[in-house]
């Protein structure tokens, strides 16, 4: 065990603490612990690079801890929210909560067979994205409106989002990740909107409106845009290369790789322009 592996275990223990919090009847702390676990999930990579500790065991441990916290723990939180908070029949709540658990497990097995990523992209909705998105939904105004029939409608929408995002675990749709990429245009703005906007929305909600949970509404907007609209910022060349790779073709460096000097002429070049010539293919 290396230092980075102990950081990774923080992810696992955060998920465990979340389940304990549910047993104690604290939904808020159950959600907080998953966010704390995500911080450890993010930090283990930088720790590994700083200490120059790389091994296959660490990668496997990271994947397993990620699966347990974001698929299993999150399913318990979803069950609690729909059963205790929304008042759904326990069996209906269980069916909704089973989707992240089931499809997350299948994604885990698929990832052991073949890498579910491409340089600068994840293939299919990543488990942490589903977990953080769902927690934002369950704590947002959408799920807790308190006004009929809008509250009931919001809870149905939340259930549909859980189901759709879980199914998208198994898709080959590319989702932008932070690894080895250059941030440009709308993607750069979106990253800062998420990173800076989250603590700012919490601070403004607390100081101005006396409602720090406004941060969850900000997170909901951020993740909704990321999941359903960020694909519009993927260059068409990268989309073609990813499709070819999924079909069994070679792994070719994407245009947005940090070691690539490509620059778009405009935001439209990311998605809309059909006549932008493709640069020479560079194998990774």
Long-range pairs, 247-254, Cβ under 8 A, ≥24: 250/283, 251/118, 251/119, 251/283, 251/284, 252/281, 252/282, 252/283, 252/284, 253/119, 253/281, 253/282, 253/283, 253/284, 254/118, 254/119, 254/120, 254/121, 254/181
Phi and psi for 138 in degrees, rounded to 5?
-70, -20
- What local confidence, expressed as pLDDT, does residue 211 receive? 84
Residue 148 to residue 245: CA distance in whole angstroms: 48
- What local confidence, expressed as pLDDT, does residue 274 receive? 46
- Mean pLDDT, consecutive 10-residue stretches, the chain (284 aa), reads 85 96 95 94 83 80 92 97 96 97 95 90 94 95 88 95 96 92 88 92 89 90 93 90 92 90 67 51 61
- What local confidence, expressed as pLDDT, does residue 179 receive? 85
Residue (of 173, 193, 164, 76) closest to 124 by Cα position: 173
């Amino acid at each position: 065990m290396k230092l980075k592996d102990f950081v990774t275990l923080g992810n696992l223990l955060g998920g465990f603490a979340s389940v304990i919090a549910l047993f104690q009847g604290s939904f808020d702390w159950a959600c907080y612990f998953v966010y704390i676990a995500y911080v450890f999930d993010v930090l283990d990579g930088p720790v590994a690079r700083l200490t120059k500790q790389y091994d296959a065991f660490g990668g496997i441990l990271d994947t397993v801890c990620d699966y347990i916290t974001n698929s299993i723990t999150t399913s318990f939180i979803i069950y609690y929210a729909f059963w205790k908070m929304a008042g759904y029949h326990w069996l209906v709540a269980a069916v909704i909560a089973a989707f992240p658990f089931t499809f997350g497990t299948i994604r885990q097995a698929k990832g052991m067979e073949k890498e579910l990523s491409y340089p600068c992209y994840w293939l299919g909705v990543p488990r942490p994205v589903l977990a953080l998105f769902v927690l934002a939904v369950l704590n947002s105004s959408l799920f807790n409106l308190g006004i009929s029939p809008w509250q009931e409608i919001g809870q149905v929408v939340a259930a549909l989002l859980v189901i759709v995002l879980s199914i998208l675990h198994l898709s080959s749709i590319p989702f932008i990740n932070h690894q080895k990429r250059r941030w440009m245009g709308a993607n750069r703005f979106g990253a800062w909107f998420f990173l800076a906007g989250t603590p700012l929305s919490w601070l403004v909600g607390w100081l101005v409106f006396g409602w720090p949970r406004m941060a969850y509404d900000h997170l909901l907007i951020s993740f909704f845009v990321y999941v359903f609209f960020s694909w519009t910022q993927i260059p068409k060349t990268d989309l073609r290369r990813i499709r070819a790779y999924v079909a069994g073709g070679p792994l070719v460096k994407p245009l947005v790789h940090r070691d690539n000097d490509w620059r778009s002429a405009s935001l439209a070049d990311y998605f809309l322009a059909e006549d932008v010539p493709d640069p020479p293919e560079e194998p990774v």
